[in-house]
Amino acid sequence: MIINKLQIQLLINNQEVGTTTYTEIRDPGCLTDIVGEVAVGNALHVDQAVNSAHQAYQAWRKTDVAERSSLLLEAASILEADIDTYVHIIARESGMLPPVVRAEINSAALLIRNTVEEAQTFFEPKQVEDADSWVSLERKPIGVIVGIVPWNAPVILAMHKLAPALICGNTIVFKPSPHAPLGISMMIQAIAKLFPPGVINIVHGGSDVGSALTTHPLVRKISFTGGAIVAKSVMKDAANSLKRILFELGGNDPAIVLDDANLQDIMPKLVTDIFRRSGQFCFAVKRVYVPQNMYNTFFDLMCQAVDQFKIGYQLDERSTFGPVNNANQYTYVKELIERTKRSGAKIVELGQILEPDHWNEGYYLRPVIVRDPDPYQEIVTCEQFGPVIPLIPYRTEQEAIDMANDTEYGLGSSIWSSDFERAIRFSREIEAGMTFINQNGSSKLGAKHIPFGGVKWDRSRSIRGIL
């Protein structure tokens, strides 16, 4: 099914609710195309949605895990059943390549099933007794959860919140990102129909709606994925009513290449892990540390690999590199590259432009490699969240470790080496929630067993953090 123009409403108590304001969602790869429009809510809608979730909670909390599990398994199947429609809409509204969206939806279905599997033992009460007393430890739901998600991976991030909240007997109110609200809302609306009214609700909007949710007195917990700046406001807003918070925030993942790495072997994977989703990924590699004596060879090889990218419209089957998602991100990354140029670091713009005549019709940026930056200049220390990567030379292992750790970010990291034992030893020196070897991303096994999250500013702990 191909849908050309969509209008997405709020979802309150399983009713679609229209509002007086609608925002057009344009295709970031072709800005003249409107993919759909979305109803924008306000504080009154937030109050209605939270109250509906609170009412629904009174009965939903008493359902048993078997019933919740079977509904969630149906939800996973719904994602897969209509996957072609979702892939098309999300690719158009987000700028992501269709295979990337498809893989994300499949991972989201897997995540739901993993959560259900984990729940089968998670809720077993533990009872202990001695001569004087008897103790029973039982896990209980906590009430209404708010899920706030960004635009760059809307499906997996929403399901990170939905599956754990519901399996525990909580109810949920979502606020999708205004930059990719259509596909994820269609999915959540389809899933919501499986559940009693009020268990799943959606209110669209920006920071005002976000703030109305995070200050609402009936909300017990906030599960927020986004950047550090917004996270600070969320923390302040949540403080008045002392809500629990789960954060999954941005990253500045270092990749450290050791001097025994086979550069030809690692380069394709490293380049993929830097530039996936045009660099707009929380645990993409965001800076690379390279031994001084390998620097020139490494730089040349990386330039060759990056130059293979075909930059173009995300639905053009020839494209391997799509546009960035929105005007803010586009301007921010462009200006960052300009400031880096002015700093004296060498900038190389690469990749093949498929349709030069259409270049200015979307948020297109070429992938950029930054040579010889100062190790502490902005392009190295910020979360660029776009297609630009700094390469920093190092002389000693300790220097590489110190530079990698000298940051407030602590989400992911990676070590690239031909010697697995050495890489493991090295990885234990890195201050990050996750350190990968010869990749910067999870396998199916990792997705099931690694508690997703980080240290320092990246405070999240678990993909199943609400459990």
d(Cα 10, Cα 41) in Å, to the nearest integer?
Answer: 7
Binding mask 338-377 for ligand NAD (x = CB under 6 A): ----------------------------------------
104 is an active site residue:
no
Q: Measured from the CB atom, is 151 or 394 closer to ligand NAD? A: 151
In eight-state DSSP terms, residue 30 is: E
- State the minimum distance, in angstroms, from the CB of residue 225 to ligand NAD: 5
Q: Measured from the CB atom, is 206 or 451 closer to ligand NAD? A: 206
Q: What is the DSSP string of 326-351?
A: -HHHHHHHHHHHHHHHHTT-EEEE-S
- State the minimum distance, in angstroms, from the CB of residue 252 to ligand NAD: 9
Give the footprint of ligand NAD on residues 253-282 (CB under 6 A): 282
At residue 361, φ and ψ (nearest 5 deg) are -90, -5
Two tokens at 460? 């999240």
248 is an active site residue:
yes
The residue number whose beta carbon is nearest to ligand NAD equals: 210
Binding mask 163-182 for ligand NAD (x = CB under 6 A): ------------x-xx----
Q: Measured from the CB atom, is 69 or 211 closer to ligand NAD? A: 211
Task: Tell me how far the alpha carbon of residue 462 is from its chain's centroid.
Answer: 13
- State the minimum distance, in angstroms, from the CB of residue 33 to ligand NAD: 21
Identify the bridge partners of residue 249 per DSSP, sorted by sequence position.
none
Give the footprint of ligand NAD on residues 213-252 (CB under 6 A): 214, 225-227, 230, 233-234, 248-251
Residue 210 binds to ligand NAD (criterion: CB under 6 A): yes
Residue 153 binds to ligand NAD (criterion: CB under 6 A): yes
Which among 104, 168, 282, 383 is annotated as catalytic? 282
* C-alpha dist (Å) from residue 66 to 73, 140, 245, 334, 445: 11, 15, 27, 51, 25
d(Cα 148, Cα 225) in Å, to the nearest integer?
Answer: 6
- State the minimum distance, in angstroms, from the CB of residue 160 to ligand NAD: 8
CA-nearest of 163, 157, 161, 147 to 219 is: 147
Residue 185 binds to ligand NAD (criterion: CB under 6 A): no
Q: 323 and 333 in contact (C-beta within 8 Å)? A: no
Residues with Cβ within 8 Å of 55's Cβ and at least 6 positions away in sequence, in order, are: 198
Residue 398 binds to ligand NAD (criterion: CB under 6 A): no
Q: What is the DSSP string of 366-386?
A: --EEEES--TTSHHHHS---S
Catalogue the active-site residues: 248, 282
Which residues are near ligand NAD by CB under 6 A? 148-153, 157, 175, 177-178, 206-207, 210-211, 214, 225-227, 230, 233-234, 248-251, 282, 383, 385, 411
